[in-house]
Chain A
Amino acid sequence: MKDPPASKRQVWAIAGFALATLAVAAAVGNSYYQLVLTQVLLWAVLSLAWNILSGYSGYFSFGHAVFWGLGAYTVALGMIYLDLTPWISIPLCAIVGVIAAALIGYPTFRLRGHYFALAMLAYPLAILYVFQWLGYQEVTLPMKRDAALLYMQFTEPRVYAGLALILLVATMLISLRVENSRFGMSLLAIKQNEPAAEAAGIDTWRWKMQAIMLSGALAAMAGGLYSVVLLVVTPETVFGMLVSAQPLILALFGGVGSLWGPVIGAIVLVPLAEVLNAELGDVLPGIQGVVYGVAIIAIILYAPEGVYWRLKDRLGRRRAAMPRPALHKQQTAVSVVTLAPARPAAEGELLVLRGIGISFGGLRALDGVDLTVREGALHGIIGPNGAGKTTLFNVINGFLPPDRGNIAFAGTTLTGLRPNRVCRLGIGRTFQVVRAFRRMTVLENVIVGAFVRARNDLAAEGMAIAALERVGLAERASDLAGGLPTKHLRLMELARALVPRPKLLLLDETLAGLAHEDLADILGVIRQVQRDGVTVLIIEHTMQAMVQLVDRFSVLDHGRLIADGTPDEIVRDPRVIEAYLGKKWMDRVAVAGT
């Protein structure tokens, strides 16, 4: 999260950029170069719009032409059939973009990775054929020489550059706002680890939908203005592959996930391709595409993070020598925000599972599990590998809907709720394999968890710092999560789960893979958490550490709960010994005993 001065600096930088662009527009006389300038600005808008969705959330769209093209046709057809001036139809494009984005996002966000990319690729191409079929092969905007101003038909090309600049500056300010808010942070968390973001209480669905709708609106407006500038709209030029590829190429070249990256990409590549096309287009008709192709391959091979990040890393290394702003001052100020439990611990049933069952194909991963976790308890679930422990957690926190049974938590039914809702109700969790947002700092990782409860972003930061202090990780707050050792990752994940002040904490093999001396630290933190009034449900497959820690045990084997009781009872339970050591062992013990 950036502090306000950094954000203010960016606003000044944007203002400076706008002035520089105006100066260039004023200086360039040639109307062809004016047109190139306008195109640079419009493609920059499309790239930034693409970046809001794909750069931040990591859902790469290969079909942004769909928004661009719908915008272009909205303006063109609106003018032809409804005599609509672009002054009205371009803002209208935003609505068209939002609707298209909602219609596309709603089904498509059920897909991930390759499938999302492939589906997005299909939309503009499918629509391209529809527009061809409808007979809009070549739509020319009617000339309105008598009312040029009213219909945005200026003879002075500088005006178009000005309009495009206004749109670009607005898009940059919106991007800046997104980047520095919980919106952007949530998208970044989704990009780096979507399940973890969801479990940390982020409504991933909502943010993704908002991102694509905002992105679609901006892209459609840029497409609308583009049609006014070029005056001719054809399906291939607005819905074609090259349009979808353009924002990707520009953003990748400049730097994905940054405010300036897409702009840099547009400034460098668009004029290059245009000039090559103009100079050599007759001899080498496809030179523009070849240049783009070579440019993105070169970028991926030699500077995969893009120009902006490359430069920033260079400069950053020079700046690293300067002392970091001290965190401690801030810490003392906010550590008043304690992690007090949402409710005082009372002797009651906090979590009740009844007859939970779930199958994967023929495998019954959970089979009629009944489990009661009492408020304030430190409750352990053990079982051999494949017993269904993690599946049980996934069912409780909403990753997997159970086939049968129901779950009640503090009187509310959890069954069917999505993980972020479950988190909101007061259940935090950690993962067997730590799910860190690797390219965020430790503090940012924890801040993501605080959004659920925090009224504003500053409060979120305060809560996160307090949580880090609680687990003893405050001094690593500004380290990147990607470089932490296991123990610190576990503690960070604990802090992230604790920061929204859960009533119940689900810990999935938090003790696994830790060195002996680290184990004591983590156990200490877990005990402290329980003393603070948080109920803890912990999974482990080794019994040793657990016996010292928990005050109640449940044993899971082959998806069934085979025993439930105090640690003493459990270690003597023959069914448990059998599950762990096998029947043969039991027989030998029986023989030896006689």
Chain B
Amino acid sequence: MVLPSFLADFLQALAVGVIVGGAYALMCIGLGIIFGSMRVINFAQGDFLMLGMYAAFYLTTGYGILAFLGAYAGPIIAAFLAGPIVFAVGWVLHRFIVSRVTGAGAEQSLGAGAYGQIIVTLGLSLILQNGGLILFGSTPTGIRTPLSRASFTIGPLLLNQARCVSFFVAVVLVVLVYLFLSHTRHGKALRAAADNSTAAIYMGIDVDRAHRIAWSLGVGITAIAGGLLASSQSFQPYVGFDFVIVMYAGVVLGGLGSILGAFWGGLLIGIVQQMSTLVLPYQLQNTAIFVVFLLIIFLRPQGLFGRLAERT
């Protein structure tokens, strides 16, 4: 089959966008859970992603723990294991630092209180990034598997195998997270605390605990997304920067506070990023995301799925 070259490029970019978007959607859901339930802008989200990448990296290659699983299952299992590891890190950070500036009490004192949260996550971000630099070094690395270089050929499309596997794993995880939030006790408590934390307190929900679960789960899920990406791209301790805006753009696009919106938002951002290469130079991929991000904020701040709850 021979397609006009523009159409072929278009389809290729679209397909890659969807595939990349799968991992983006997963990390956006992680951020969406945190923002949705705690209303905290977490600057460190990208750095938890980076932790996930390094966790997966060391599990597969560095210490060879998972080498026996082979080149195919190893990286995926490692990505999954990055989740609980970063979940634990997140739990500790929330317990000792984040919880002191968030929660039902801090929420009411808008102004200084709200900024306290942002500053703390900014501080965490600086520590994680630069701590990462100290621990992991500044040389870019990546998990190289046979899949990283191989591609599926579907008609005119060339799709990187590692990315395809990440995509399917991400989608499965998204479904699991969705089931967790809608069908389990913890998930429901979490959504209640997200919707109205004061009311949730009155209903006997331990909001602080719900926030801790949300925070840890959120960074854990984003870390898994990082672990999945680790086998298809190289990274260094500052890689979080590149993804913070991707994540916020996705979450804002979907509608701050909407988990389902975060999924579609992340997917769309992946598509936007790849499609932009059709008209813009490769280096301006991320600028395209910023522009989309700013446009959403200005034109439809409630996002695609968000509610506009403005009070006068």
Contacts and interface: CB of A to CB of B under 8 A. Distances in A.
Interface of A: 58, 60, 62, 107, 110-111, 113-115, 117-119, 121-123, 125-126, 129-130, 132-133, 191-192, 195, 241-242, 245, 248-249, 252, 284-290, 292-297, 300-301, 304-305, 390-391, 394, 399-400
B294 interface: yes
A123 B290 CA distance: 8
B130 A288 contact: yes
Interface stretch (B51-59, B111-119, B190-198): B111-119
27 contacts: A60-B115, A60-B118, A107-B294, A111-B301, A114-B39, A118-B252, A122-B293, A125-B286, A126-B291, A129-B284, A129-B286, A130-B287, A191-B111, A285-B133, A285-B138, A286-B134, A289-B127, A293-B124, A294-B127, A296-B119, A296-B126, A297-B123, A300-B123, A301-B120, A304-B112, A390-B312, A399-B312
Interface in B273-312: 281, 283-287, 290-291, 293-294, 297-298, 301, 312
A567 to B, nearest CB: 29
Contacts of B132: 286
Contacts of A114: 39, 41, 114, 256
B149 interface: no
A100 B113 CA distance: 29
A129 B120 contact: no
B266 to A, nearest CB: 16
Among A130, A132, A241, chain B packs the most CB atoms within 10 A around the CB of A241
A287 B126 CA distance: 10
Contacts of B118: 60, 62, 117
B245 interface: yes
Interface in B85-114: 97, 100-101, 110-112, 114
A473 to B, nearest CB: 25
Contacts of A115: 297, 301
A133 B284 contact: yes
Contacts of B252: 118
B297 A118 contact: yes
A493 B264 CA distance: 47
B115 A122 contact: no
Contact of A286 (B101, B111, B237, B245): B237
A287 B293 CA distance: 32
Interface string B48-91: 00000000000000000000000000000000000000000000
B125 interface: yes
Main secondary structure of the interface of B (DSSP, over half): helix
A95 B175 CA distance: 52
Among A62, A111, A125, chain B packs the most CB atoms within 10 A around the CB of A125
A540 to B, nearest CB: 19
Given A122-B293, A391-B312, 17 more contacts: A62-B118, A107-B298, A129-B287, A245-B122, A248-B119, A249-B122, A286-B131, A287-B134, A292-B123, A292-B126, A294-B123, A296-B120, A296-B126, A300-B116, A304-B112, A394-B312, A400-B312
Nearest to A60: B115
Closest CB pairs A-B (n = 10): A286-B130, A289-B130, A293-B126, A286-B133, A126-B290, A293-B127, A297-B123, A133-B283, A293-B123, A296-B123
B231 interface: no
Interface in B117-172: 118-120, 122-134, 138
A409 to B, nearest CB: 20
Nearest to A107: B298
A488 B298 CA distance: 40
A56 to B, nearest CB: 13
A400 B311 CA distance: 11
Contact of A132 (B114, B283, B297): B283
B130 A290 contact: yes
Contacts of A123: 290
A285 B133 CA distance: 7
Contacts of B127: 289-290, 293-294, 297
Contact of A304 (B116, B130, B245): B116
A117 B43 CA distance: 11
B241 A300 contact: no
A121 B252 CA distance: 14
A115 B126 CA distance: 22
B123 A126 contact: no
A110 B298 contact: yes
A301 B111 contact: no
